[in-house]
Amino acid sequence: MNNIFTKDWFYSLDSQLRDMGLDSDDKSFDEIKDILAEPKHLSSEDFASAVAYVILASGFSQKTAKKYHKIIMDKIQGNCCIEDLFNIFNNKSKINSIVCVWNNRVEFCDGFYKCKSSDEKIKYLTSLPYIGKITANHLARNLGIDVVKYDIWIQRLGVLYSGNKKLSSLIDNGNLNPKIKKVCDDMFDELVKNTGLPRGYIDVVLWKSAQNHLIEGL
C-alpha cells in the first residue's frame, strides 16, 4: 500500500484545487458535499439537466461540458429544433440522447425516484440514453448517491495506492476489472476512514486532482 494516501495529503489536494478555482464538477465541491449529505428530490427538468451534463462531460473536459451544457439547456427549454442543437454541438449521438431525455424527462425522473435502493437507482440510470456503467456512477454521484466513478484516473490512483504497478495492464475505462475495482475500493475505504468524508466527495477531489496533474506517480 502506498502511504501517501493520508488525511493531510487529501486535504492538501482539496485546498490546491480550491485555490486554483477548480473546485467543481457540475456543481461546486461544497454543493456536491451538501447533496451527498442530504440528497434532494429534483424536478423532472433539473433531473434531465443533470443527465445532459454527464452526457456532455463523457469524453470532454469539464470546461467544455459546462460551456455547451448551459447553451444547450437554454435552447432546448426554448423549444428550438434539433438542427439548431446540431449546429451548436456537432455530436449527433449526444444531442439525440439529450433531446430524448428532455422529451421523456417526467417518465425518466419518476422511474429513478421509484427505485428503492441506491443499487437499483444506479442500474436504472444505465437504461437512459448514452449512460453507461461509469457515466451512471458519475450521474448518480451528482444526484446525491454516495458512489465512486471508476474512470481512468481513479483506476490509475487505485493502482498507485496498491503499490503493484503490474496491475496497470488491467486498467480499462470501458470494462472495470474486478482486481482494479478492489484496489480502488480499498483506497476509498482508507480515505473515508482517515477523513470522515463521503466516498463520492473523495472521488471528485481525487479525480480533479489527477486530471490536473496534482498527484505524482500516475
pLDDT digits (tens, 9 = 90+) for 35-79: 999 999 999 999 999 999 999 998 877 888 888 999 999 999 887
What's the pLDDT tens digit per position in 80-93?
888 888 989 989 99
- % of the chain exceeding 90 in pLDDT: 81
- Please state, in angstroms and rounded to a whole number, the distance separating the CA atoms of residues 162 and 95: 39
- Please state, in angstroms and rounded to a whole number, the distance separating the CA atoms of residues 29 and 17: 10
User: What is the CATH topology of the domain spanning 44-142?
Assistant: Endonuclease III; domain 1 (1.10.340)
> Helices 133-142 and 118-125 sit at what angle, rounded to 10 degrees?
120
Question: How far is CA 107 from each of CA 82, 93, 111, 171, 183, rounded to the nearest angstrom?
Answer: 21, 21, 6, 36, 37
Grid cell for residue 127: 437504461
Instruction: Please tell me the predicted confidence (pLDDT) of residue 3.
Output: 83
pLDDT at 1 over 80: no
3-state helix, strand, coil in the chain (%, to 5): 65, 0, 30
Average of per-residue pLDDT values in the chain: 93
pTM over 0.85: yes
Strands (E), the chain: none
Instruction: Please tell me the predicted confidence (pLDDT) of residue 200.
Output: 96
Q: Which residues pair with 28 in a beta bridge?
A: 24
